[in-house]
Structure 1
Amino acid sequence: MTRPFTGWHMLATMVGFFGIVIAVNVLMAREAIHTFSGEVVENSYVASQRFNHWLADARSQQAAGWSATIGADPDRHLTVTVLQNGHAVPVSSVSVEADQPLDTILPTQPPMRALGAGRFQSAKPIGSGRWRVRVQAKAGVRMLRFEQDIAV
């Protein structure tokens, strides 16, 4: 003998369904809040005022033929080679800031050692994963800026 589907069964089904939906939404919202701070720049107004200047600098740098290869060697040391028109060129200094965009850990600024002819390598290895690497290099009086995502 089968039992009839009653209003109580429908209530239990609806409470169960919406309970699962709400629980998943709460879990996803909690994870989103704890894994991404939401801060991309410190002051969005100041960044918006400087944006056109940054864009003009990038275009000027690209027009002058400056570029960089950014990567990691098999031992997970960051490597940076500064190029002008495809040829490695010596630069006086390089600073690097690397962060993992999908994590809330603070960016790391590994010390870089010169290998010669515009080539630099980090003194210590970085962790595995996806990294956003920002490089600042000084060539004469010109400050060069590069950014690249790498996977280690």
Structure 2
Amino acid sequence: MSARSQKSREFTGRHMLLTILGFFGVVIGVNVTMATLASTSWTGLVVENTYVASQQFNRKAEEGRIQAALGWIGKLTIAWGEVRYGLSDAAGKPLPLHAVKVLFRHPAYEAEDKAVILASAAGQEFAAQHTPKDGVWIVEIDADAGLAEPYRDVRRIMISKGAIQ
């Protein structure tokens, strides 16, 4: 038999330093990853009072069902610094509009929200000069088409290089 010398491995200050650096490195890495994912994804819709918004939900849903039964189709275009909106019936015939208001809402924070009043343009369309910043927007369009309530068209859009994608 051969004699083997066993060298005991000591836990030194260097080992402790590497352990602490590794631990905090993982924690910081996870935090940075989660913060990046949170800031680049949709975080929800900002409302002033969630209770009031929840109380209005059923009424708004019913109005949406009534409006959907009309079969009207809204055409929104955003390009070259101009926002245009027109409305047509189920057969594709343009509907006369009296006024159109467009509200651009940022999904994560309200500081970027902007209301734009469109003016009558060629044909039955309404238009205004506005270039929303690139990113995701919730667009709420209220079009006065002669109904008791304005025709409401709400969509989630993506703006890239000043145009709808």
TM value normalised by structure 1: 0.77
Among 126, 142, 150, which residue is 2:149 paired with? 142
Letter in 1 for 2:82: H
CA-CA distance at 1:119 after TM superposition = 1.1
**8 A Cα contact 2:43 2:107, kept in partner:** no
Is the aligned partner of 1:129 residue 2:146? Answer: no
Alpha-carbon separation, structure 1, partners of 2:16 and 2:74: 63
Select 2:55's aligned residue among 32, 42, 49: 49
Q: 1:66 aligns with which of 66, 69, 72?
A: 72
Of residues 16-25 and 75-84 in structure 1, the stretch that sits farther from structure 2 once superposed is 16-25
Where does structure 1 lack aligned partners over 5 or more consecutive residues? none
User: Is the aligned partner of 1:97 residue 2:97?
Assistant: no
8 Å contact from structure 1 (residues 111, 123) kept in 2: no
Give CA deviations for 1:114-150 in whole Å, capped at 9, x if unaligned.
1144311123333333332110111113311111222
CA distance change for structure 1 residues 115 and 6 in 2, over 3 Å: closer, same or farther?
farther
TM-score relative to the length of structure 2: 0.71
In the alignment, the residues of structure 2 paired with residue 21 and residue 119 of structure 1 have an alpha-carbon distance, to the nearest angstrom, of: 55
Q: Which runs of 5 or more structure 2 residues have no equivalent in the other structure?
A: 1-7
Rg larger for? 2
CA contact under 8 A between 1:90 and 1:116: conserved in structure 2? Answer: no
Contact kept in structure 1, 2:84 and 2:126, CA below 8 Å = yes
Residue identity opposite 1:7 in structure 2: F
Give SS of 1:122's match.
Answer: strand
AA aligned to 1:149 is R
Alpha-carbon deviation of 1:22?
2.8
1:28 deviates by 5.7
Match of 1:7 in 2: 11
> Aligned partners of 2:89 and 2:9: how far apart in 1?
76
What is the match of residue 89 of structure 2? 84
Matched-pair contact (CA < 8 Å) for 2:44–2:108: no
**One-letter amino acid of the structure 2 residue matched with residue 148 of structure 1:** R
Q: Cα RMSD over matched residues? A: 3.0
Identity %: 23
The one-letter amino acid of 1:106's match is E
Provide the aligned length of Structure 1 versus Structure 2: 147
Letter in 2 for 1:43: N
SS of match in other structure, 2:114: coil
